[in-house]
Structure 1
Amino acid sequence: MRVPPILFPTRQLHPLRSIARRIGLSVGILVLVAMVTWTGRHGYRDADGGPLSLLDAFYYASVTVTTTGYGDITPISPTARAVTAFVVTPARVVFLILLVGTTLELLTERFRQALAESRWRKRVRGHTIVAGYGTKGRGAVDTLLASGTLVEDVVVIDVSAAAVEEARNAGFTAILGDATRTPVLQLARVEQADAVVVTCHRDDTATLVTLTARELNGDVTIVAAVREAENAHLLRQSGAATVIVSAEAAGRLLGLATDQPRAVAVLEDLLIAGQGLRLVERAAREDEVGGPPLPGEGLLPIAVVREGARISFDSPAYRRVQAGDVVISIGSE
């Protein structure tokens, strides 16, 4: 199967639109020369001795502007020769410029694409792959950017041409293809990636993407979103380090908002990147070992993660930090 190309960010005029404009101008020049010839047809001589028809005028225009010049139709009157010298010849030059310019533009675009892809392949590493650029994917990308991830360190994969074009317009490198396929993930350089974010519309698709990514890179961090809680364990068994149940989480927020709307407002601050509150994780410091985690500048510890298990602030184990623990704090943007 054909591997899709890597599409890099662009804000230029679409090449097909530019080529269509050139073709339109070329056709206009052809029609102009034909009409000029038809208007002064009595000043031209055909090799068969007959009068020039409208078809003959278009034939003469086509062989003239393309510099084919068979010589079977020639200007014989001074007026026709003047028109050929001062109208047809400049039109021929413009036509050739358009023809050569279109060819060069096609070749230049292909060369630019190949050069950009070659350079990207050499430098890309430690990047984040986002499989699915829908609502969840865009939200994940916004959070990544707000946390300091560079635009050039994000690669988007989606099966929708519209989504890929939207990602390109936003400045991201994008691949139009199916992230469940090994060649597509290899094209995104999953072997050199630091993280893979799976935000597919279907849970079975998310599972296949996770399995494929884990097979290609055993060390990459994979986070995935699923719609149904009953499928979360499948993602974890497939290799996802973190699984977010999107439908269930939204339902809990809706239920909480009916009774505790201000608490939900605080949660919204945590969820919206770049504003309000934020969560920060860090390694436990040496001066904290044996005691509780210490507040930092603008940060309030609320939990400790020890060997993958979360320890909340009301647990006795929270007050005895161990080496290797991860401290979770809450702060403001």
Structure 2
Amino acid sequence: MRHFVIAGQWCHNRAAMNPQRLSHFLKTLYSQVTRLTWWSLLGAFTLHYAVSAKLMWLFETGEITEIAAFFYYYITTVTTVGYGDISPKTVSGRLLASLWIMPGGIILFTTSITKFVHYLSIQWRRRMCGEADYSYLGGHIVILGWQGMRTQRMVEEIIHDIGRAEREIVVCSTKDIENPMPTLVKFVRDTALSEKRLHDRAGTAGAAVIIALGHDDNDTLAAALAASAYNRDGHLVAHFQQQAFADLLVAHCPRAEAMVSADTAMLVRAAQDPGSSRVHHDLLSVMTGSALFSLKIPDNAALTTYGELMSDYKLRHNATVVAVADDARGNGLSLNAPASKHVGPGQVVYYIAERRIS
């Protein structure tokens, strides 16, 4: 009786350990598979195929020994499709298929699938965690800083701007978060917005537009100055709370467009002219109807006047011209200019319309 009890306990302990051993075996196998290089896996496939073809040629005759036919048979076998329209006829050929081609091919095929899924999962995790490299991008938009709903609204405004140049958007952040808008933007994360590695992976050097919006003015200034050092041609825009930081950025990078919070001015304007804050908001958002856009006058355009331009835009596009500047940075801006003011090639027109005019 004692022997039966001991035997029962041994069987129970063995059954309890089997799942653990199986789990350990599978984990070890998965680890070894993912360490294989694609070249070594391709070499194993090539060797297995060559040996299989040679042995099948020795054991079999007929259609299956033809190069194209055997390749078709091999692929349908190792992928477990198994149509059966081509198969070995001799006992030796069937043993070869059962003991060598099927086990080896299926193992190699499932190993390839496992490795491919592992590769995809790694790439997805890297993209979600901000570790991916987008240095190959060009003509895209880089947003330096993630400020929650504020940045999200910024991305939505860019996407809803009908008629804009279709550009990829890369959001950079120092916060310990995953990509907050995975279907709309690419994501890069590092220790600081001025970090060279961040700008390299975000492709700052090839960006067409760079927007700096750090968690404070110091962070924004550092990010903008770093971006200006890596990118010499793109349009750089930065938002500050204090004018001193904006002046400092422009002093070091004259091509930058430094914006200062207009909350106080808007508060006074709304108090003096009720409803003006709503007008200001709607003019800036493409998601609320008519908005403010800009257009550079082509080099081959004829010289005209501000008054003629206003009439032409209103009649042809139902758009209202509100200002004209000498260049894209707003230098020489003339708001509500005299009707006789000359406007010509190279200048920039600012207008209000329901959509961007091409």
Q: Does 1:198 align with 2:220?
A: no
- Other-structure match for 2:351: 329
Distance in 1, Cα, partners of 2:186 & 2:127: 14
Q: TM-score, normalised by structure 1?
A: 0.64
Distance in 1, Cα, partners of 2:219 & 2:126: 31
RMSD: 3.7
Q: Any idea what SS the aligned residue of 1:52 has?
A: helix
Identify the match of residue 285 of structure 2 among 259, 268, 272: 272
Quote how far apart the aligned CAs of 1:114 are: 8.1
**Residues 281 and 60 of structure 1: CA distance in aligned 2, closer, same or farther (over 3 Å):** closer
- Other-structure match for 1:144: 158
Identify the match of residue 160 of structure 1 among 175, 178, 181: 175
Quote how far apart the aligned CAs of 1:144 are: 1.4
Quote how far apart the aligned CAs of 1:324 are: 2.1
Quote how far apart the aligned CAs of 1:315 are: 4.0
- Other-structure match for 2:258: 243
Q: Percent identity?
A: 17
Q: Does 1:109 align with 2:129?
A: no
Distance in 1, Cα, partners of 2:19 & 2:160: 60
The aligned length equals 253
Quote how far apart the aligned CAs of 1:44 are: 8.1
1:1-333 mapped onto 2 (5 Å cutoff): 42=4, 45=7, 51-52=9-10, 55=13, 57-63=15-21, 105-110=117-122, 121-122=135-136, 124-134=137-147, 135-148=149-162, 153-162=168-177, 164-168=178-182, 170-177=183-190, 178-239=192-253, 241-246=256-261, 249-284=262-297, 286-289=301-304, 292-295=307-310, 296=313, 297-307=317-327, 308-315=331-338, 319-333=341-355
**Residues 151 and 132 of structure 1: CA distance in aligned 2, closer, same or farther (over 3 Å):** farther
Q: Deviations over 1:121-163 (max 9, x none)?
A: 54x210000011214433332221122457861000011233x
Whether contact under 8 Å (1:292, 1:320) holds in the other structure is no
Higher relative contact order (CA 8 A, sep 6+): 1
Q: Any idea what SS the aligned residue of 1:219 has?
A: coil
**Residues 61 and 196 of structure 1: CA distance in aligned 2, closer, same or farther (over 3 Å):** closer
Q: Deviations over 1:268-311 (max 9, x none)?
A: 11122322321122233634435645132121111110252101
Q: Deviations over 1:147-201 (max 9, x none)?
A: 2457861000011233x43132x42110122221011101111111101100112
One-letter amino acid of the counterpart of residue 306, structure 1: D
**Residues 152 and 112 of structure 1: CA distance in aligned 2, closer, same or farther (over 3 Å):** farther
Q: Any idea what SS the aligned residue of 1:161 has?
A: coil
Q: Any idea what SS the aligned residue of 2:170 has?
A: strand
Distance in 1, Cα, partners of 2:25 & 2:151: 55
Quote how far apart the aligned CAs of 1:62 are: 3.8
- Other-structure match for 1:96: none
Whether contact under 8 Å (1:293, 1:327) holds in the other structure is no
Distance in 1, Cα, partners of 2:124 & 2:179: 18
Whether contact under 8 Å (2:224, 2:236) holds in the other structure is yes
Which stretches in structure 1 are left out of the alignment for 5+ residues?
1-40, 69-99
Q: TM-score, normalised by structure 2?
A: 0.60
One-letter amino acid of the counterpart of residue 156, structure 1: V
Which stretches in structure 2 are left out of the alignment for 5+ residues?
27-110
Whether contact under 8 Å (2:132, 2:188) holds in the other structure is no
One-letter amino acid of the counterpart of residue 269, structure 1: D
- Other-structure match for 2:85: none
